[in-house]
Amino acid sequence: MRAGAERGAFAPAAVTVGGITLPGNVFCAPLAGYTDFAFRKLCYGYGAALCYTEMVSAKGLLYNSEATKELLLRGEGEPPQTAAQLFGADADILRAACESEALAPFPIVDLNMGCPVPKIYKNGEGSALLGDLPRAEKIVAACVKSGKVVTVKFRTGLTREKPVTAELAKMCRGAGAAAVTVHGRPRDAYYAGEPDYAQIAAAKNAVDIPVFANGGIFSVRDAEKMMRETGADGVMLARAAMYCPHLFAEFYGAGREWDIRGAIARQTADMLPVYGERRTVVHMRKMAAFYLRGTRGVAQRRRELFACDTLAALEEVLRLVFAEEPPCD
């Protein structure tokens, strides 16, 4: 297992977004296929101050899609501040989604203007809006009229050569957004390369609303560098949370050792009554593979892990993995 972490290095601080005071400034990003109610519960338990739903289609809500509404399931005891993330390209449809009964439990709506996936981009949604700022402005203004606290998550631009970060941040602020999150890479970089700290700093210097930084943060040290280089008001963890949701606890001085087996058991127990055994197993074998990265014995067990089709089979593979794990010093 991993060695202990430096204590008290980050010192998370409360932050206010649109009148909503959050207990800290370390958030869990919206992650398609991952940030369901059970995963959010795990992250909140480790100290995340704000979690987001998976990316939700505004059109899907308009057409009353059951699969879309399922993405908005909340867990028992889930903190009230959880934000819903919407994507779309039509301002009227997005406003209607904000005003829908499905989004009533969510005080914050985050607008996705950063997704680089071709299917989303080709529909004029997600990061495509980086190339159409008038449309983006119309969308933000329409959603603000719904009465929700509106935030926007976007990238630095379509390409590194043509950033729109500061301009877009100012536009979002002018249209009524309460905060913005900047993923410090352009659309064409996807998730590769070091984040552009200067562009995030440019957004922070351009507006008087909170600016949160996203991209390339896999440790407390990475977050410290991000805050130092950009002046951001907080950070948002994405892939790092997927690999190790316990990372949130490290910001509050916890060591890097964590109870992986216990976390898997808790997440499984939360999912099972809602999703049933088959779907829970398919999801949890994927999550277990993330959580167990670098654990001794897991490499030769991966094939067995992904072959599991029952909870009993999954638990047996995990038993073998942990039996092969040496005691911690």
**How does residue 295 score in pLDDT terms, banded at 50, 70 and 90?**
confident
Q: Which of 30-34, 51-55, 148-152, 325-329 has the weakest average pLDDT? A: 325-329
Give the pLDDT of residue 2. Answer: 32
- Residue 271 in contact with residue 75, Cβ under 8 Å? no
- Residue 239 in contact with residue 191, Cβ under 8 Å? yes
Give the pLDDT of residue 92. Answer: 98
The one-letter code for the residue type at 30 is P
**296 pLDDT higher than 90:** no
| CA distance linking residue 314 with residue 321, whole number of Å | 11
| CA distance linking residue 159 with residue 192, whole number of Å | 13
Give the pLDDT of residue 12. Answer: 86
**328 pLDDT higher than 70:** no
**How does residue 249 score in pLDDT terms, banded at 50, 70 and 90?**
very high
Give the pLDDT of residue 275. Answer: 96
Give the pLDDT of residue 209. Answer: 98
Average pLDDT, the chain: 93
Q: Structure pTM?
A: 0.93
For 64-110, how does the pLDDT look when each residue is reduced to its tens digit (9 = 90+)? Answer: 999 999 999 999 999 999 999 999 999 999 999 999 999 999 999 99
- Residues 6 or more apart in contact with residue 199 via CB below 8 angstroms: 156, 163, 165, 166, 182, 184
Q: Which of 4-13, 231-240, 282-291 has the weakest average pLDDT? A: 4-13
Average pLDDT over residues 187-200: 95
**How does residue 289 score in pLDDT terms, banded at 50, 70 and 90?**
very high
Indicate if the alpha-carbon torsion angle 183, 194, 236, 293 is positive or negative.
Answer: positive
Average pLDDT over residues 102-131: 97
CATH of 260-323, one of 3.20.20.140, 1.10.10.10, 2.120.10.30, 1.10.1200.80: 1.10.1200.80
| CA distance linking residue 266 with residue 42, whole number of Å | 8
Give the pLDDT of residue 10. Answer: 67
Percentage of residues in the chain having pLDDT higher than 70:
95
Q: Following DSSP, what letter does each residue of 51-112 receive, concatenated?
A: EEEEEEEHHHHHTT-HHHHHTT---TT--TT-EEEEE-S-HHHHHHHHTSGGGTT-SEEEEE
Indicate if the alpha-carbon torsion angle 112, 190, 168, 200 is positive or negative.
Answer: positive
> Any idea where the domains of the chain sit in the sequence?
15-250, 260-323
**164 pLDDT higher than 50:** yes
Q: Which of 7-21, 36-50, 65-79 has the weakest average pLDDT? A: 7-21
**7 pLDDT higher than 70:** no
- CATH-assigned architecture of domain 15-250: Alpha-Beta Barrel (3.20)
For 203-235, how does the pLDDT look when each residue is reduced to its tens digit (9 = 90+)? Answer: 999 999 999 999 999 999 999 999 999 999 999
Average pLDDT over residues 160-171: 97
- Residues 6 or more apart in contact with residue 312 via CB below 8 angstroms: none
Do the domains at 15-250 and 260-323 have one common CATH topology?
no
**324 pLDDT higher than 80:** no
Average pLDDT over residues 222-250: 96
C-beta neighbour count of 101 within 10 angstroms: 8
Tell me the catalytic residues. 115
